[in-house]
Amino acid sequence: MPDLPESFSSEAPPESAHAVHSAQLLSEVASLPPLPGVYRYFDADGMVLYVGKAINLKKRVSSYFQKNHGGTRIGHMVSKIVRMETTVVRSEAEALLLENNLIKTLNPKYNILFRDDKSYPYLKITTPFDSLNTGSRFARVAYYRGAVEKKHHYFGPYPSAWAVKEAILLMQKVFRLRTCEDAVFNNRTRPCLLYQIKRCSGPCVGLVSPEDYAQDVVNAERFLKGDARQVMDALEARMMAHADKLEFEQAAELRNQVAALSNVLHQQSVDNVSDRDVDILAVKVQGGRACVNLAMVRGGRHLGDRPYFPVHVEDAAAVYSHDNNDGEDGPEGSNPAPKQASPSLEAQVLEAFVAQHYLNVPVPPSLVVSEPVSKVLLKALSMQSGVKVTAVHQPREQRRQWLEMAQTNASLQLARLLSEEGSQQARTRALVEALDLPLDDLEALRVECFDISHTAGEATQASCVVFHHHKMQNTEYRRYSIEGITPGDDYAAMRQVLLRRYGKLAETLAEAKKTGDMPAGTGRLPDRVLVDGGKGQVSMAREVFEQLGLDLSLIVGVEKGEGRKIGLEELVFADGREKVYLGKDSAALMLVAQIRDEAHRFAITGMRAQRAKVRVDGGKLEEIPGIGPKRRAKLLQRFGGVRGVALAGVEDIATVDGISRELAEEIYRALH
């Protein structure tokens, strides 16, 4: 039997919904219209429990409150509902889109949720235009991540940065397109190394005509769109034309280009593939966890794949099953919707992924899927994208090979995740036992760790990293710039960061203890606070906690062993307990070292960034009126740093998106 969620209890909710729900809530349920819409359930703390859609809001929502769901997951959810919100829409497809937008935004506990870790990368080819900036007249191929702009050409998305860089290398090998920034391009007096190794045609010093370079760009774009065979035929025709004119050097260049392109096509084996843009989706569920493996085909080329791991799978499946078996009527005046067999958990996970993933990512016209996808979902995707989207569940030939490969990768990725989680849970259990923590739920263990980093007192930074739910929670990491202390005083730095981290929380907890009323949304203290240091740092932490009135037993110092050797660390306690040596092979020490090392990494990267900013005068740009963080980031990205901006002319600076001619002149004056 899978582990129950943190707040799950085996106790059944009361027999009658009326016994646990307010009269106002039940009145709102009774007055709902029989129309399509989306509903949201909230608990007493204002947190969203569940977001659902319905063809008939009245019948669907009423089913939650009219039935006794016993001690099930759905019964536990229903017992916590104190408030409800609904939105009426025109169709089931609109309801589906709104539902998944809200799921992504609100992160409800009882919905299958796919979190976005980052945006997808693209391959970007700039659009040439006439300007005093000679570099802008020759298109550049580059890696790009962010919002696309209409004035340039973008290809992708790609599943990873590695896939984009492989494509850029291909553009260099076959079409010899430039990758350098305009600031570098405009200041070349002789060709660079890329020209020497035949990865660039040397447009910076006039070794290729603008017309020939433009033709290479056109061929590269046609290749990326999937017209590889037509590009090959055109190159061969140009080669023969030069040979007929006895222009053997030009013919030899084209011969080498044809050979390189032919080699690429042979390696990728996509000559006979009719599909241009396809996503292949395979799902695997095991041990209460799930993996959706997404493989991408763009322009007829297989670009690679990327795994996704949803959360809340088991809780959401129970609620989804209730909704599917509800047999709700359609909108008023329509025929009742027939009851259907519940889709498998794999199908539920896949539909959740498709609905959420393509909210922010362009959807290709064809999907190859390991589980069937509902027609309503495909209709909603088509309505949103403006392109007719089809899904093939049982493909043949090349598509079948792609799907089998995606299914294999999904199984491998899920097996790896389960293995890592099993190891991580064993470490968590070992740490709980070593510290004698009164925790029954290992998932709830929360550890915060602090470290200080500086270079001889310069650019002092403190870091706080968080371990929770058996893994590091990087979205909860925080850095603190330490000021007003003697440079190099690590104890004063630790005192400052702990006061800033826990000062307000301690005040809130003390006030709540007096009044007996805890404000909603109040955070909680971690189960343990790790500080990277021995008795000195622990003593400073103890002083801070005594000042704030917090429990001293929370503080644990990680003291380096003899010779500062890894595996000899000892744990130092602020409440007077004797030091503890866990042993170099201890799973608990491995977890402590993992958390401590992550705090050190996070602190030192922040310190280096702060130090670099000071040393290259990176803050000078933001002192210029009209330059904020976004424009500063674009300038630094374009020219590679403040020094690059200073070397650029007014015309170069004005080519940056969001920088007008007047602002470019102001930047130039400020830096000179």
* 132, 507, 570, 623, 631 from 649: Cα distances, Å: 10, 54, 58, 19, 17
Contact by Cβ (8 Å): 283, 412: no
Strands annotated E in 430-513: 446-455, 458-468, 471-472, 478-481
Asked whether residue 370 carries a pLDDT value surpassing 90, the answer given is yes
- At residue 480 the predicted structure's pLDDT band, cuts being 50, 70 and 90, is very high
pLDDT of res. 331? 56
CA distance 525 to 554: 9
Burial class (CB within 10 angstroms; exposed 0-12, middle 13-18, buried 19+) of 629:
exposed
Q: Which of 33-47, 180-194, 255-269 has the lowest mean pLDDT?
A: 255-269
The answer for residues whose C-beta is within 8 angstroms of residue 209's C-beta and 6 or more apart is none
1-114+312-333 homologous superfamily: GIY-YIG endonuclease (3.40.1440.10)
Following DSSP, what letter does each residue of 251-304 receive, concatenated?
HHHHHHHHHHHHHHHHHHT-TT---SSEEEEEEEEETTEEEEEEEEEETTEEEE
443-515+525-613 homologous superfamily: UvrC, RNAse H endonuclease domain (3.30.420.340)
- At residue 17 the predicted structure's pLDDT band, cuts being 50, 70 and 90, is very low
Higher pLDDT, 12 or 543: 543
Contact by Cβ (8 Å): 279, 120: no
Q: Residue 176 is which amino acid?
A: R
Mean pLDDT of 459-465: 89
Higher pLDDT, 4 or 325: 325
pLDDT of res. 51? 92
pLDDT of res. 5? 38
Sheet containing strand 153-155, strands side by side: 141-145, 121-125, 153-155
The answer, as to whether pTM is greater than 0.85, is no
CA distance 486 to 483: 9
Q: State the CB neighbour count (10 A cutoff) for residue 386.
A: 6
Angle ∠(98,35,111) on CA atoms, nearest 5 = 40
For the domain bounded by 277-309+357-434, which CATH number is listed?
A: 3.30.420
Following DSSP, what letter does each residue of 183-203 receive, concatenated?
HHHTT-SS--HHHHTTS---G
**Residue position matching structure tokens 């980031």:** 633
CA distance 390 to 375: 9
Higher pLDDT, 323 or 57: 57
% the chain with pLDDT above 90: 18
pLDDT of res. 3? 40
In tens, the pLDDT along 255-298 reads 776 676 666 554 454 444 466 789 999 999 987 889 999 998 88
pLDDT of res. 239? 76
Higher pLDDT, 521 or 593: 593
% the chain with pLDDT above 70: 84
pLDDT of res. 167? 83
Q: Residue 458 is which amino acid?
A: E
Contact by Cβ (8 Å): 534, 574: no
Nearest to 100 by CA among 334, 411, 452, 360: 360
Nearest to 381 by CA among 351, 426, 408: 351
Contact by Cβ (8 Å): 492, 483: no
Q: In the chain, which residues fall in CATH 3.40.1440.10? A: 1-114+312-333
Q: Which of 82-86, 266-270, 306-310, 437-441 has the lowest mean pLDDT?
A: 266-270
Nearest to 667 by CA among 656, 485, 496, 73: 656
CA distance 190 to 133: 18
What are 25's two structure tokens? 């809530």
Asked whether residue 195 carries a pLDDT value surpassing 60, the answer given is yes
pLDDT of res. 11? 39
Asked whether residue 47 carries a pLDDT value surpassing 90, the answer given is no
Q: Is the dihedral of CA 244, 245, 248, 252 positive or negative?
A: negative
Q: Which of 243-257, 454-468, 614-628 has the lowest mean pLDDT?
A: 614-628
pLDDT of res. 318? 73
What are 637's two structure tokens? 């990205």
Q: Say which CATH topology domain 616-671 has.
A: DNA polymerase; domain 1 (1.10.150)
In tens, the pLDDT along 134-163 reads 557 888 998 888 777 778 888 878 888 888
Asked whether residue 2 carries a pLDDT value surpassing 80, the answer given is no
Angle ∠(582,585,589) on CA atoms, nearest 5 = 45
Q: Which of 362-376, 452-466, 592-606 has the lowest mean pLDDT?
A: 452-466
Contact by Cβ (8 Å): 126, 268: no
Q: Which of 55-69, 136-150, 167-181, 239-253 has the lowest mean pLDDT?
A: 239-253
CA distance 607 to 613: 10
- At residue 466 the predicted structure's pLDDT band, cuts being 50, 70 and 90, is very high
Q: Which residues pair with 369 in a beta bridge?
A: 281
The helix (H) or strand (E) run that includes residue 40 is strand 37-42
Q: Which residues pair with 466 in a beta bridge?
A: 448
Q: State the CB neighbour count (10 A cutoff) for residue 236.
A: 16
Asked whether residue 13 carries a pLDDT value surpassing 50, the answer given is no
pLDDT of res. 467? 94
The answer for residues whose C-beta is within 8 angstroms of residue 366's C-beta and 6 or more apart is 275, 277, 278, 279, 389, 390, 391, 392
- Helix and strand counts by DSSP (H, E) for the chain: 21, 19
What are 437's two structure tokens? 């923590």
Q: In the chain, which residues fall in CATH 1.10.150.20? A: 616-671
pLDDT of res. 271? 40
* 218, 356, 417, 520 from 223: Cα distances, Å: 9, 31, 37, 57
Average pLDDT over all residues of the chain? 81
* 248, 274, 426, 447, 592 from 436: Cα distances, Å: 81, 62, 15, 14, 15
Nearest to 592 by CA among 465, 499, 417, 440: 465
